[in-house]
Amino acid sequence: MVLSLLHTRAAAPVQAQVRGAVYLVEAQGVITDVTVDYLRRALRLAEASDATALIIELQAQGAVLRAIRPLAVELADAAVPVVVYVAPSGTDSGAAGAFLLSAAHIAAMAPNTSFGSPVPLATVDTVLTEQTRDLVLASVADQLRDWNAERGRSTDWVDQAVREGVIRTNEQAFSTQPPAIDLVARDRTELMTLLQGRSVTLANGDAIILETLGRTPQPIPPSLWEQFLLLLADPTIAFLLLIMGGIAIYVELISPTVGIAAGIGALMLLGALFGLIVLPIRLLSLAGLFFAFVFIIADVYTPSSGGLTVVGLGLLIVSALTLIDTTQAPNVFVALWAIMLVVAGVGAFMAAGVWLVMRSRNRPVTTGQEGLVGRLAEVRQTLDPDGMVFVEGALWRAVSEQGTIERGEWVRVRAIYGTRLFVTRLDAEREGS
């Protein structure tokens, strides 16, 4: 009778698992709050459909610690088996791997992969007392240790990872006794084979036998909106948007014409702002980027022979390299290629500006007061007395010297002061003649 009861309890979970799908979700790039929301949606879908398992294929290059720990708690308490698989070969899952592999019901890695971080997995405010700091660190260590102990995995690496930082390869993790991970699989097909028949105990006490042999994981792709937010949350993209947005705004400010640069720049800065909000940044480095451009722009208006540009570019490089607080987001940084691209672009722009200035000294003036004074212009926005006129293929701000001039009328440029044209009516010229 006892055997019959045990058989009944084991059979029900197996039968339920056969009816559910095996879901697959890919976590790529930097794990931020945006990635966590995407993974939460996948987990809710798997739980709602009574899935056989949810496989999280971890291809992350780094993680924001404040985002990854709450996600790990949810995965550990999930109502369906969660498999975290660090893949493909060559992936360094960083701090995300340390937390998510620990929380997973089954921890798997591909060959030539690793998890962990060279910096501590727990960040503590320096203003706290030593006793409080120890309590916070102990809390994180206890949580990781408990998860691994419940799954029958090694906990020897936990204390060092939390307090000092540690990196473990798949070989190191699988060779300990007991191992720190459950299995090593070359690809998804082998993973599904190795998962077959494994027993998983959920947080509610239910024991489930996985039936995965011959099954194909069903992917849960991010929505278009999620893809857009994931793109903005990338530190390299946020950096490029910040720089290009600032350049666009500056171009609009110095341009005498009305264009779309300001609108484009504002959109870029909004995108950069979103990325900077979800990423832990150093405010001092952000200020450094601002002053870097102040130096570069100042070089345009002062006879420094390029000295201010060199200082500005140096400050830009240092600020970009230190923009992300890596104590809160291990292995998260702005890509070096993006920094060098910006430096090369700004340097080339300044060099081209110097060349054009030198060249213009040997050419007759065709723009400015001598180039536009006397030209005919069409009123595009009623001059009352301020408005807009179209002359020489561009819109200019203009001021009427003879009262209101309606749109569509033609005027003559009399003078230029700053970025404004002062114009007169053509009919006034006829009356005067």
Cβ burial 86-109 (10 Å sphere, 16+ → b, else e): bbeeebbbbbbbbbbbbbbbbbbb
- The mean pLDDT value for 14-20 works out to 50
Which range, 9-23, 77-91, 148-162, has the best average confidence (pLDDT)? 77-91
Smallest CA-to-CA distance from 202 within 51, 5, 23 is with: 51
Q: Which two tokens stand for residue 32?
A: 């931020």
> What is the pLDDT confidence band of residue 431, given thresholds at 50, 70 and 90?
low
> What is the pLDDT confidence band of residue 163, given thresholds at 50, 70 and 90?
confident
- CA torsion sign for 126, 129, 131, 135 is negative
Specify the residue for token string 């931020």. 32
42 pLDDT above the threshold of 90: yes
CATH superfamily of 369-432: Nucleic acid-binding proteins (2.40.50.140)
> What is the pLDDT confidence band of residue 373, given thresholds at 50, 70 and 90?
confident
Domain boundaries defined on the chain: 2-222, 234-360, 369-432
The residues that bridge with 129 in the sheet, in sequence order, are none
CA distance 36 to 397: 49
> What is the pLDDT confidence band of residue 141, given thresholds at 50, 70 and 90?
confident
Predicted TM-score (pTM) of the model is 0.74
- Give the pLDDT of residue 350: 75
* Stretch among 15-19, 296-300, 399-403 having the lowest mean pLDDT: 15-19
For residues 138 and 47, the model is more confident at: 47
Number of alpha carbons in the 13 Å side-chain half-sphere of residue 219: 7
- Give the pLDDT of residue 137: 76
The percent of residues in the chain predicted with pLDDT above 70, rounded, is 83
CA distance 83 to 415: 74
Rounded to a whole number of angstroms, the distance between the first and last alpha carbons of the chain is: 120
- Give the pLDDT of residue 5: 36
- The mean pLDDT value for 61-77 works out to 90
- The mean pLDDT value for 332-340 works out to 93
Segment 178-223, tens digit of pLDDT: 999 999 999 999 999 999 999 999 988 889 999 999 899 999 999 9
- Give the pLDDT of residue 17: 41
CA distance 319 to 324: 9
Average pLDDT, the chain: 84
62 pLDDT above the threshold of 80: yes
- What is the architecture of the domain spanning 2-222? Alpha-Beta Complex (3.90)
* Stretch among 82-91, 257-266, 313-322, 374-383 having the lowest mean pLDDT: 257-266
For residues 365 and 200, the model is more confident at: 200
10 pLDDT above the threshold of 80: no
- Give the pLDDT of residue 428: 63
